[in-house]
Structure 1
Amino acid sequence: MPITVWGLSIAQALLMSGNILLVSISALVGQELAVHPALITLPIACQFLGLITATLPAAHLMQKLGRKIGFILGNLIGLLGTWVALQGLVAASLTWFALGTFLIGIAIGVGQQYRFAALEACASAQHARAISMVMAGGVLAAIIGPNLAILSQNWHDASPYAGAFYGLFGLYVLALLLIVSLPLLKPSVEHIDTGVRPYRVLFRQPLLVAAIASGMIGYGIMVLIMTATPLAMNQAQHGFNDTAYVIQWHVLGMFVPSFFTGNLIRRFTTRRVILWGCGALLLSVAVNLAGQGFWYYWWGLLLLGVGWNFTFIGATHLLTFSYLPAEKAKVQGINECFVFSAAALGSLFAGQGLAMLGWLGLNLFATPWILFVAMLIWRLKEQTPSAAVSEQP
């Protein structure tokens, strides 16, 4: 595997550490600062709003100016976001804290292109493995993020969560230095100048619709349940350290399978791996419905992470067979916009949904969406990506 893929995997780990840190503390910060239950998850929703805002512009900017310039700009915005969020915590201002998470969300949105950049650094036969290796960087993030949230609680007198953003600033500096040193490819002129199909034609492909739906529901349901978990555990009288531990193992469930997901795709087809992901998501719901003890949360979130891994990596790989080279930015950008819009809705609804439906009702709400994706993927029957690509004009 090229060194660029390994470098992007480490950069992904540093970026995801910030994402995990925000998941661990943002809902709790919102609970302290919000004046209405609907605003508790506003900071996480703003993070995903920033992510969505970045998706289409980032994809097109990188196609014109190159991956390196786009990633450097994203990291600089992330550094600004950590400072703004810190000022919000010091001032006990939910508005400023949410603005900081919005800017960090933009940085994370730009960083979502790391997996697509990895595809450009290797042969097509290695694409599934390259995607998996970049996503596997999240294993390191699973160790850094929650532990940074725990260890930094006494770093700042203003808030037990403020110190974490000093560490986050340092992580983004390291990511910036790494990106600067990587030999990322420059944009291809022929891919910029040639024509592309309009969206109405692209979306006539069942494979594209299934790929985007899989990414949307897999990510949206994962964020919905994951964001509500710290609040539900707090209601069930579980301590913050227990919550951080559950989130840490959830993230391990999200990224450890990445070491072999690519091989599973090559051996069993993308379709089957996505269906297995839907099955893991349904098992997660079943465990969450069974009880609210610590180990129920632990198993439920672990399975939720595995389900996300299979649906998200599978969807990313499936997507690569739905566009021509000149359509790369257009399709990748719209995919990210849809997927992270679903994630934003999940994060925004998590607090209010938990208040309205309760923990059990929230999990039941997730079930039909998972079944819908399973149906779309099942309708592809035994169609494989290699067969799908042959159907393109």
Structure 2
Amino acid sequence: MKTPAQDLAVLAIGQALTSTVVSLLTAVSSLSGEHLAPSPAFSTLPVTATVLGALAMVYPASTLMGRLGRRSGFLLKALAGIAGGALGCAALWAHSFALLVAGAFLLGVFSAFGQYYRFAAIDATSDDAERTRAVSLVMGAGVAGGIAGPWLGSASGAWWPGVPYAGAFAALALVCVALAVSQLFLSSGLGRQDAAAPLPTDSAAGGGRAALGADFYAATALCAVGFAVMTLVMNAAPLSMHHGGHSLRDSSRVLQAHFALMYLPAFATPWLAARLGLRGLVAAGLAAGAAGCALAQWPAQSFGLYVVELGLAGVAWSFVFNGATLLTAQTYPAPQRARAQGLNASLVYLANVAAAFAAGGLLHWQGWAAVNLACLPLLAAGAWLLARRAA
């Protein structure tokens, strides 16, 4: 029988490989779409297909893993990634835009399962202190993928000079093979819902599934705020820098700083949570996000300012999202786990989708300062929810 420490090590490897795939896909999806699309208007259709694939699967993924366990779910995820990478590679060889879109949809299914590494880390532990350390370790491992993915996309994109980006999708599929092998070492029963355990009933409703309480929705909303603010800022920053005359190399370095500060602070989460509490940790993240948005109102946006702003956005995501995930885990009973985690991931992803679509329009019509101003009401709402829940 595997120990929790062994399971956490496997989950950390899985998170690192998953973030490698996601960051690699981010680097090549739109470029490959532009290369194959019959019209420039359709160049971002593969990105849209990835979003739709994730949105369609994010709730069913929780139900599947409740029945089959985390190992089976993450293996299915890896298989979807292998198939999506293979289809993307084949699409570029065959010059088929339809195949590329199909592959991107499967990679969205892959991404949906990736939402559950944070909950799998919680499943592998028993008390609150262990949960905090577990989420810290597993989420912090994502920094490796944030660095490796863009590098791998650049290195593999020219494997076949006559077929641009095909090598990147082939490399993506190989990473998913490694992911599948790694997840074989998870405990088979991790995260599996006990089918014999009765669901709690809602006496006011006369039976059936218990309603999840206000604390659950408040903590889930905090997760959504953390993700939406990060997505708004991260998606708009490269275009804003381009419009401001900064080079592609500069924007890549800013994004590297952002990814590093999304994941590295997770390693300090146990220490900070012990001193500030989980609510204090979330509050610190909301403050970091607000500080970054305030700096974005400065008229002349230098390279250094972008580094600080995107770095603060990364820290904000780490503290708010990870802290709120741990708060969420305190709000539902074990028999409601699969349902609660699926609903949490679905609501968070809906907020992420809305932010991703809003970022481009806000930047185009109003500019970088307005994108950051739009984040402030979200952060204020998060602070209100945090204070209300703490009362």
Q: State the TM-score, normalizing by the size of structure 1.
A: 0.88
Does residue 1:296 correspond to 2:310, yes or no? Answer: no
Structure 2 Cα separation of the partners of residues 224 and 118 of structure 1? 27
Which deviates more, 145-154 or 365-374? 145-154
Q: Find the partner of 2:265 among 257, 262, 267.
A: 257
* Equivalent residue runs for 1:197-216 within 5 Å: 197=201, 202-203=211-212, 205-216=213-224
DSSP-derived class of the 2:296 partner: helix
Query: In 2, distance between residues paired with 1:162 and 1:292?
Result: 36
CA contact (8 A) 2:285 2:318 kept: yes
Query: 1:19 and 1:284 mapped to 2: Cα distance?
Result: 25
Report which stretch shifted further, 161-170 or 71-80: 161-170
* Alignment match, 1:103: 106
The equivalent residue for 1:328 is 337
Q: Which residue of 2 aligns with 1:155?
A: 159
1:83-122 mapped onto 2 (5 Å cutoff): 83-89=86-92, 96-122=99-125
CA contact (8 A) 1:27 1:44 kept: yes
- The residue number in structure 2 matching 1:145 is 149
CA deviation vs aligned residue, 1:337-358 (integer Å, no higher than 9, x gap): 0001111122222223322222
Distance 1:303 1:237, change over 3 A: same
Deviation of the 1:289 alpha carbon = 2.9
Q: Is the 8 A contact 2:254 2:307 kept in 1?
A: yes
Q: 1:10 aligns with which of 9, 13, 19?
A: 13
Deviation at 1:98, TM superposition (A): 4.0
Change (3 A) 1:78 1:153: closer
Q: Which amino acid in 2 is paired with 1:294?
A: F
What does 1:9-28 correspond to in 2, within 5 Å?
9-27=12-30
Q: Could you tell me whether the CA contact under 8 Å between 2:124 and 2:190 is conserved in 1? A: no
Secondary structure, counterpart of 2:124 in structure 1: coil
Is the contact between residue 119 and residue 130 of structure 1 (CA under 8 Å) also seen in structure 2?
Answer: yes
Q: Percent identity at matched positions?
A: 33
CA shift, 1:29, in A, is: 5.1
Per-residue CA deviation, residues 148-201 of structure 1 (Å, 9 max, x unaligned), is: 233234223356544322221221111100001222425656455411456996
RMSD of equivalent CA atoms: 2.6
Q: Identify which of 232, 251, 267 aligns with 1:243.
A: 251
2:136: which partner in 1?
A: 132
Return 5+ residue gaps in structure 1 as ranges: 383-393
1:166 to 152, 159, 170: 170
Aligned to 1:372: 381
Deviation at 1:74, TM superposition (A): 0.9
Of the structure 1 ranges 26-35 and 144-153, higher mean CA displacement relative to structure 2 is found in 26-35
Q: Does 1:358 align with 2:367?
A: yes
Give the 3 Å change call, closer, same or farther, for CA 189–40 of structure 1 in structure 2: closer
Aligned length: 380
- CA distance 1:115–1:150, shift in 2 (3 Å): same
Partner of 2:346: 337
Deviations 1:282-328 (A, max 9, x none): 12212333243322222221111110001110111001111111000
Match of 1:279 in 2: 287
Residue ranges of structure 2 left out of the alignment (5+ in a row): 203-207
Give the distance between the partners of 1:156 and 1:287, measured in 2 at CA: 43
Contact 1:142–1:249 at 8 Å: present in 2 too? Answer: no
1:319 aligns with 2:323: no
- For 1:341 and 1:122, how far apart are their aligned partners in 2? 28
User: 2:236 aligned with 1:228, yes or no?
Assistant: yes
Moved more, 105-114 or 91-100: 91-100
